[in-house]
Every structure is written in C-alpha cells, then in structure tokens.
Structure 1
Amino acid sequence: MSKKHNILLIQVDQMTAKVLPAYGHQVVKTPNLDKLASEGVVFENSYCNFPLCAPSRMSMLTGRYANTVGVWDNATEAPAETPTLMHYLRGMGYSTTLCGKMHFVGPDQLHGYEERVTTDIYPSNFSWAPNWEKGLGDRPTGINLSAVVNSGQCKRSLQIDYDDEVEYFGVRKIFDLARYEERPFFLTVSFTQPHSPFICRPEHWDLYDSDEIDMPRVPAMKEEDMDPMSKWIYYAHAGDLDQPTDDQIRNSRHAYYGMVSALDEKVGNLVAALKDCDLYEDTVIIFTSDHGDMLGERGQWYKQLFYEYSATVPLIISCPSLFSPKRIEKCVSLVDLTPTVLDIVTNGENYEVIDEFEGTSLVPLLKDGKDDDRLDQIIVEYTGEGALAPCRMVRRGSVKYIYTHGHDDIMYDLANDPLELTNIADLPEYADLRKELNAVALDGWNPTKIREQILASQKRRLFIAKQTDNDPVWAYKVFENDDQRYVRKAGAVQTKAFARIPRIENESAFK
C-alpha cells in the first residue's frame, strides 16, 4: 500500500442487504454487484448506525454516532464545525466530490466536499422536523402507505429522473478526474433508489415474474403484540388507517426488486468508466446503503426500526490491487468507514484525529480476514421521526439487545431465531449478558439528557419553520432552478414523489 488509492463510494438509499444475491437472495438479479462482490470483500453482518437517511449518512462521514454529533432526525442541521472524512482527505491531498444525495440539512451543503455536481433530492431545511409532543402518529414528512398501495411500473418518476442525472454526472466526473485531476480522488456517487415509492421502468419490472416474488416471511403483527418502538413507527407510517392487500405487497416487492436491478446497471456503468480510464485496479470501490427497508415484514414498511430488514445494509469493498476476495462474518457498521478509508490512504500511518472516532478501521479484516482485537459488536440508535423516546440497539455476536427508554428490554438470538420472533430478555440464562449489553447501550449515552436536548431542538426548529413558512430552502444549486426541483418543503413528498408517467389518481389513499 505504497501509493494513495482513489476512493469511489457508491451509496444507495433504503436497500436492505437481505435482497441481494451476494447476501443469499435467490430472486433478485444484480449481475454487476455479484461480480463486484466476487472480486471484493463482502461484510455479511453490516449495519447502519441509525435507520434514517440524514443521521445515518452523517454518522458514516464523521466516524461518530449521530447522537454524539447532535443529529437527531432528518431535519437536524449538522454543525459545520464537525470534521468529516472529506476534511481529513483534503488535508491529505485528495480531491473530494459529491454527486447525488446526501441529505445535508442547513446552509452548509458541502461539509468538506470541495464540490457537488448535482443538487439534492430532499429538503435541506427544517420542514421535516418531528414533534414528539404530538405523541403517537406524528408524520412530519406526510408519509403513508400510498407508496405501497400505488407500487408498480412507470415510464418516468421523480426518482428515476434524479438517479439518471446522478449516473450521468457520476460517469462524466470519473472521466474528468482521469483527464484533469492530478490528485487522488474521493468521489461519492449517491442514488435515491430503491427508496419508496416503489415504482420502476417496464424493462426492470419485466426481469421478474410475479409468481416468483417472495412474500414477507413474518406476517403482520397485531397492534397489541407490537413492541413500543414498532407501534410508534406503525402509526408514523399510517399503518393504523389501513393495510395493503397481498397483491399490493407483492407488487411493492416486485417493483423494489426492479429498482434494485436498475441500480445494478448504474453500478456497472460506473465500474465500466473506471476501467475505461485504467483506474479500476487501483480504486477502492465501496458499495453500501444508508439503511434498509422492512418490505412488509411484520406488517411494517420503510425503515426506522432495529429489525434486520431495516437495520442491515450491504457493504462490499473492492480493490483488486489491495484486497483479495473474502467474506467477513464479524459485525461491522457504517461508523467504521471513515477510519477505514483514512487507514487505507495513510497506509496505516498516524494522523491527527480532531474528534475521537467511535468506529474502528476495517483494514485488518480487509487484508487478512481476521482481527483478533475487534469486538464482534455494533451499536445502532434511533431518535428520529415517529419515535417518542430515545432508542438504542447493541448486537454482540448473534445476540441483539434493544433498549427503548422507559420500556422493557428486548433481546433476540439471531443464530437460533433469525426472524426475531422470541424475546429472550427475561430468560435467566441471558441475565448476565442482558446486563452487559445494557451497560454498552448506555455508555456515554444518557437517554434522559438526550430526550431533553431533542425536545428543545424540535421546539426551536418548529418555531423557525412556522415563522418563515419553511424558508430558506438551502438546496445546493448547480443549475439555476435547482432550488425548485425535486422535494423542497413539507408535504411535497406526497405530490412530487408521485409525479410519474403514467399519472395515478389514488396517490394519497392513506391520508
């Protein structure tokens, strides 16, 4: 590792690891990701650290947990004084470019990136700020299950528009970097699919027969059988108003698989551009998602939960000149990516760390497939919209521990209970481990204090949003009208996100 390698981070949105053939799925078709996985390192138990877009991404780019940074939800402004991976890389002689979505909130729309070559797709202001004081059913984004009910095919949609734009400028940027940039590069190409609504082009829909689409393995739970966090999120998604039919569930998963295949093509085009520029062998490619999607498991949709479909993400790291193909069983998470990238580009040499990382480098696992010093343990937290109290999850080995502030603990042994159906928290044989994992969850994380901080932050942001009618927009402008394109304010997700061809009439069935 004597030279500085280029880094290409490919991120998608709301893709659970559970649907990829590289993670054992038998239906979804992703030939390009399959090849990347066969040539790279596949982390079999990889998690986001916060199953929601903005906090997950900020945790990944700082190497610190979102609550440590003070990012509570999808409408929290990350402090501009917070050092990110991009700040470190710029000091190490790298160019840093963002192409696509990152869901930064506030006037700082770069956070260390030197440039952005596209605008973002979702609001950069406080219009999606949640309000815990409203109690059960607060829906700041206006989200409901119409994204499931109206799943299917389309010729064009807002998300297809956006991802086509990101692909075009991402490929173009690779060629520009190869031609004009002397420095090594860190390029992030970040797509919005397969985020809901679940709609795909006919050519991707037709890759699958309806009869082969697998249905959820765990049926919908009765409300009285839900744990508190699941009940909160169920109401936040308007699940109490109605539930999709079996045909609608199958269509949603069908369209989701089509969206995954569409993204696979875009990944293939990015890799092809690297190869055309003779950059493939010496570029570290990282493929991941910000969080997963429940896809109807337990009757739940979208993200915001600690169950496997929501919290697991694909993580594939490939660089033929550095790492041989292998599969890693140890638990890892996105908070590990910043120290990992910095470890790669510094060849393991010391560098100044401004704020101590809460993630740890994956380079020993990438190189040797083992790391005796690394705990087989990760932490995931949630304080975003839909929740009514701070929540945290710890996975150690095969055991998952869930702490919901003010409520009983939950534990699952994934080795014996992969569908997470049996709560073992009260079993005597797990008492000592429960105590240990509770201490891990609460170490440096005070839920009472955090709740107070969140309520105060929500009050400030809601006041500002009300007084200003959700202005300013703060959208990053590459082109003149970028502050008007895509979703910019509250409620628009239920109009613009469904603006597709052909049009649909029943776009808000669950208001």
Structure 2
Amino acid sequence: MANGRNVLWIMCDQLRFDYLSCYGHPHLHTPNIDRLAERGVRFNRAYVQSPICGPSRMSFYTGRYVRSHGSTWNGIPLRVGEPTLGDHLQEIGVRNVLVGKTHMRADTEGMARLGISPESFIGARVAECGFEVFERDDGLHPDGPYSPNPEYDSYLKAKGYDGPNQWERWSNSAEGEDGEILSGWLLGHSDKPARVQAEHAETPYMIQRFKDFVAVAGDQPWCVHLSLIKPHWPYIVPAPYHDMYSAEDVLPVVRSEEERQDPHPVFKAFMGERVSKAFSNDETRAKVIPAYMGLIKQIDDEIGKLMEFLDEKGLTDNTMIVFTSDHGDYLGDHWMGEKELFHEPSVKIPLIVVDPRPEADSTRGTVSEDLVEAIDLAPTFVEFCGGKPKPNVLEGRSLLPLLESTEPIAWREFTISEYDYSMRNARMDLGLPVSDCRLAMIMDKRWKFIHAEGFRPMLFDLQEDPQELQDLGANPAYAAERERMSEALFAWYRKHHTRITMTDDQIAASAGKELQAGILIGYTDEEELEEAKQEQGLL
C-alpha cells in the first residue's frame, strides 16, 4: 500500500531541452527550474517515445512504447483496457489526478462494445487515460476535440474578458493600433503582447488550479499531473514577457545547405511543410523565438511561486517533483518547424527529478548521462509511492537506482522512439499508403539510427557530429554501423510487447506442472505414470 508520499509531475508542452539555463541556454535564465536541478538529478539524455504530443503522452501515461499501446498519432484513441499509471497507482491507494492537458481521446467505440458507460466511475477513468480529472484543458478553445467547454474560458469571462472564445480572443491574440484583434496563430504577430494580463494567462491559471486541488485533497496520497499548455503555440505571450527578449537573444540556427542538397526523402518532405518553410525564414524566427523564450520565462516565474507554496503547505519533504516536457520544438533548426522527426531539438527533452528521500541525498545537484526514456516515469512513481512495478506491463525502468547513487550501474544500451506520419502531408507528397508511413529511431550514446519503411535508413554520429548535420545513412563507409543498429532495432521489435496478463515469474512457476494438473499426455501405461508421480513428489 501507499507510503504517504506524493508526486508532483510538471509537464510543459513543446519545451526544448536546451531552452533552460541549467541545460546551457546563455540568454534565457530560469533560476527556479535551475534550483530544482540543484535539489535533484538533471537527466541529460532523456528521450520521448514519439516526437509528437498524443503518442508521446500515451507512452508517458501507460509506461509503454507506442508499438505496444497503439495510439500512434494525435487523436488516435488509446484502446480501452490498456493499463495506465492510474491503474497501477489505484492498486496501492494513490490518487492519480489531472490538472491540465493530456491530448487523450477516448476509445468510445470500444467502451460501447464492452458496455462501459462514460458516466460510470470506471468509464470516466478509461475515458480520461486513468486520471481523476480535477481540471482538464488541452487548449484549442472552445471547439477542440479534446476538452470542450473548458473552465478557463469561464474564468476569463468572470474576470471581465468579453466576447466568445476568450482563450483565443484574449490569451492568444494581440491588439492592433486601431483596436483590431490580431490572431496569435499568425507568426507575424508573435512579437506583440497577448491581450490578457499576465496573471490571468494559462500558466498561472493552471498552477493555481493545482493549489486549489491541494486545498481539498485530504489525506490520501496523490500523484498530480500538472500539465501546462505552454510554450506550445500559438507563440504569443502577455506583457511584460513579450519584450524581455529580442532578436539579439536568438541563438544561431543549426542547419546547413548540405542538408538540402540530397536529403532523405522523408526529411525532404517534412522540410517542405508550410511550418518548416516559415521557420526557415530568419525574420519569422526573430519574432517567434523571443516570444517562445518569454513563455518559458513566465513558466519559470510561476514555478518559483509553486515551490514556495509547497514549502508553506509542508509538502516539500514528502513530494517527488518532476519537471519535463512531452517533446521539443525545431524552431528552424535543420530547416524544420514544429517537431515530429528525430533530431535532438525534437525528440530529446528536459527531465529533472527531485526525490525527497534521504536515500537520494548523494545525487543532489548531479547530472546523469544515462539513456532515459519517457516510459521510465510510470514505474518510478509506482516504486516511489510504495508499489512494485509490473515489468510485464510497464516497459520502462524505475529511475530510483539512478536517483540513489552516482556509481555506474547496468542500464539500458539503447533508447527507442517511433513516429507514424500517415496523417501528414509528407505521406501524400511521397505517394505512400497509410500502412508504410512508419519511422523508428534507435540510438545508443553515440549513434542514432532511423528506420524509414520503404526507404534507406538515416544515421547520425553524435560524437563526431553532435549537431546532426551529416546523414550517414547512404555512406558506404558506415554500412557495418547501420547493420549493427538495424539488428538492434529488429531485436527490440522481436520482444514480447503484448503479453501483459501474466508475469514471467508466473509463467516460470507454471512450467512443468502438467501432471500435477491431471494432464496425462505422452504416458504409455500405469506403471510409467506411477514412476513419474513419484519423481515429482505427487505420491
């Protein structure tokens, strides 16, 4: 059963790993998030299981690879019956609570087939990915497919923000010289302040909702997923954050002309997307990236207030604090916008874990270079809260050993990420059937290999080419390395991914028990049967 510990799991949306000062950004100072790193472990090589919101989050929430849970793109439902973190925590008496975004879409057809009402206790949990919803808000108000009628719009209305769709009209729009509304969706307006006051923006609102939960939480241990919507687009931020940074603070873009000379066909198709062309324009980057930095600065300021709140409520000493993101953002690097492919700005995430236990004292303020996956958080939370992770269900590994010692331990050799681009324009540009639009990345501490169904692979040497400007996927000098990584990926695919109803220990304990169960296969006569019973101690 639960041991009285809590988990505060903070997730930003589309936050690049290197846009925090503790991860090396020279201009964007995030002292409050940095203090979390000083109190815990900063993981320098953490990767998501898919570089896009929905599948990445479903892997976080199930502790399972995309290959296993089957929710391969945004809006593809997580099938009914797929075990979630909420199921594992419920078994040990811990509440699994949502405040913010999930990008979850319920398997309503599957629920109907099984006669599960969304209004029932079980149905509500299944429809919300195992979460007890305190407040859900996925953005895209008010007609988004994930969280219609969000409370945030009502909150803004009560604060005096008039008109329909307060989320877009106030929080994600600017105002022109003549009072006209300028949509924050349009990148040319990113340098203008959002119309909402900073204290009423999405980030402080959602953090206040966590505080509201604490006020009524009671004594039962909890794991709260505080899932912030920003710095995800629309890239627009209220004053004073809108002009804290300028074009001079924008880091040099990471790209080369060689990348466009003979690119991998899939990479070429994504470079041709409208958003990639937009972020390949330096004038656009000069407007958008300062706003992106302002959104992050506001998050950092609010994190500071949140940590003070935890101290005031006496929660700091028994609460694990995790700060991370669901994926990154290219911001023009590699001629790309958005995320979705496997360069480091997209697939690598910040991950800071503050473990309050005395056992973690020796690692405070350290940096881990071990390969960590998003699916490692679910078993970490279960074990921290007093449970025993189920390895036949949870495919990640608890991080507690890495939080308890700086000594080298046996850890994973490879990390995996997957992407289904069948819903993207790239599929149509390449003339592919839906079934063939699959990418899979496998990487070790030096090599990153990407399998692209129907095409040659991609390969990057992160030691010699840390900026990933040279794709070695067609270079004959690296054929052996490609073969080695391809075999490693195939070996991963060959593993069991779907046998979740019985553990390896249960199977091992059941082996050789046919005679004990009265199954008499292969015996010739009574005498042989009696001998077998004697040998197995059944007489």
Q: TM-score range by the shorter chain?
A: 0.7 to 0.9
Partner of residue 253 from structure 2, selected from 201, 216, 220: 216
Partner AA of 1:82 in structure 2? E
**Residue of structure 2 in register with 1:358 after alignment:** 395
Listed as ranges, the matches of 1:285-434 within 5 Å are: 285-322=321-358, 323-324=360-361, 325=364, 326-346=366-386, 350=388, 352=390, 355-370=392-407, 372-384=409-421, 385-386=423-424, 388=427, 389-426=437-474, 430-434=478-482
Contact 2:191 2:243 in 1 (8 A): no
SS at match of 2:54: helix
Q: Distance in 2 between matches of 1:103 and 1:77?
A: 10
After superposition, give the CA deviation of every residue in 1:136-185 in whole Å (9 maximum; x if it has no partner). Answer: xxxxxxxxx965443223233699743343122112213333xxx11111
Judging changes above 3 Å, is the alpha-carbon distance between structure 1 residues 407 and 244 closer, same or farther for their aligned structure 2 residues? closer
SS at match of 1:19: coil
Q: Distance in 1 between matches of 2:37 and 2:244?
A: 21
Partner AA of 2:208 in structure 1? Y
Question: Identity of counterpart residues, as a percentage?
Answer: 28
| Structure 1 residue 299: Cα displacement | 1.8
Q: Distance in 2 between matches of 1:282 and 1:408?
A: 50
> Which blocks of at least 5 consecutive residues in structure 1 are unaligned?
128-144, 447-511
Tell me, yes or no, if structure 1 residue 173 matches structure 2 residue 213. yes
Contact 1:364 1:370 in 2 (8 A): no
Partner AA of 1:26 in structure 2? P
Q: Distance in 2 between matches of 1:243 and 1:314?
A: 22
**Residue of structure 2 in register with 1:141 after alignment:** none
CA RMSD of superposed structures (Å): 2.8
| Structure 1 residue 101: Cα displacement | 0.5
Tell me, yes or no, if structure 1 residue 26 matches structure 2 residue 26. yes
**Residue of structure 2 in register with 1:438 after alignment:** 486
| Structure 1 residue 219: Cα displacement | 4.6
SS at match of 2:98: strand
SS at match of 1:194: coil
SS at match of 1:434: helix
| Structure 1 residue 410: Cα displacement | 1.4
After superposition, give the CA deviation of every residue in 1:259-282 in whole Å (9 maximum; x if it has no partner). Answer: 111111222222222111011121
Partner AA of 2:226 in structure 1? V
Judging changes above 3 Å, is the alpha-carbon distance between structure 1 residues 321 and 352 closer, same or farther for their aligned structure 2 residues? closer
Q: Distance in 1 between matches of 2:134 and 2:374?
A: 22
Contact 1:175 1:273 in 2 (8 A): no
Judging changes above 3 Å, is the alpha-carbon distance between structure 1 residues 174 and 265 closer, same or farther for their aligned structure 2 residues? farther
| Structure 1 residue 433: Cα displacement | 3.3
**Residue of structure 1 in register with 2:316 after alignment:** 280
Contact 1:220 1:300 in 2 (8 A): no
Listed as ranges, the matches of 1:43-54 within 5 Å are: 43-54=43-54
Q: Distance in 2 between matches of 1:174 and 1:236?
A: 44
After superposition, give the CA deviation of every residue in 1:99-138 in whole Å (9 maximum; x if it has no partner). Answer: 00011112554222123324332444699xxxxxxxxxxx
TM-score, length-scaled by structure 2: 0.73
Q: Distance in 2 between matches of 1:308 and 1:84?
A: 28
Q: Distance in 1 between matches of 2:209 and 2:67?
A: 33
Q: Distance in 1 between matches of 2:378 and 2:48?
A: 13
Q: Distance in 2 between matches of 1:39 and 1:290?
A: 22
**Residue of structure 2 in register with 1:253 after alignment:** 289
SS at match of 1:214: coil
| Structure 1 residue 236: Cα displacement | 3.8
**Residue of structure 2 in register with 1:119 after alignment:** 137
After superposition, give the CA deviation of every residue in 1:197-241 in whole Å (9 maximum; x if it has no partner). Answer: 22112311333243232231325777553322322323344546x
Larger radius of gyration: 2
Contact 1:170 1:270 in 2 (8 A): no
Contact 2:49 2:65 in 1 (8 A): yes
**Residue of structure 2 in register with 1:35 after alignment:** 35
**Residue of structure 1 in register with 2:191 after alignment:** 152
Q: Distance in 1 between matches of 2:79 and 2:2?
A: 35
SS at match of 1:314: strand
| Structure 1 residue 186: Cα displacement | 0.5
Listed as ranges, the matches of 1:28-107 within 5 Å are: 28-106=28-106, 107=108
SS at match of 2:18: helix
Partner of residue 182 from structure 1, selected from 219, 226, 238: 219
Contact 1:121 1:162 in 2 (8 A): no
Judging changes above 3 Å, is the alpha-carbon distance between structure 1 residues 209 and 223 closer, same or farther for their aligned structure 2 residues? closer
Partner of residue 233 from structure 2, selected from 196, 210, 215: 196
| Structure 1 residue 338: Cα displacement | 0.9
Judging changes above 3 Å, is the alpha-carbon distance between structure 1 residues 276 and 66 closer, same or farther for their aligned structure 2 residues? same
- Comparing 223-232 with 82-91, greater Cα deviation is found at 223-232
Partner of residue 162 from structure 1, selected from 196, 202, 206: 202
Q: Distance in 2 between matches of 1:72 and 1:124?
A: 17
Q: Distance in 2 between matches of 1:196 and 1:293?
A: 10
| Structure 1 residue 248: Cα displacement | 2.0
| Structure 1 residue 39: Cα displacement | 0.9
Contact 2:275 2:338 in 1 (8 A): no
Q: Distance in 2 between matches of 1:413 and 1:245?
A: 28
After superposition, give the CA deviation of every residue in 1:283-322 in whole Å (9 maximum; x if it has no partner). Answer: 0001110000001112211110100111111000002334
Tell me, yes or no, if structure 1 residue 227 matches structure 2 residue 256. no
Contact 2:279 2:337 in 1 (8 A): no
Q: Distance in 2 between matches of 1:397 and 1:379?
A: 12
Q: Distance in 2 between matches of 1:203 and 1:376?
A: 45
SS at match of 1:152: coil
Partner AA of 2:443 in structure 1? R
After superposition, give the CA deviation of every residue in 1:407-443 in whole Å (9 maximum; x if it has no partner). Answer: 1111111121111112334556644332222123234
Judging changes above 3 Å, is the alpha-carbon distance between structure 1 residues 373 and 333 closer, same or farther for their aligned structure 2 residues? same
> Which blocks of at least 5 consecutive residues in structure 2 are unaligned?
109-125, 149-183, 428-436, 495-539
Q: Distance in 1 between matches of 2:70 and 2:331?
A: 29
TM-score, length-scaled by structure 1: 0.76
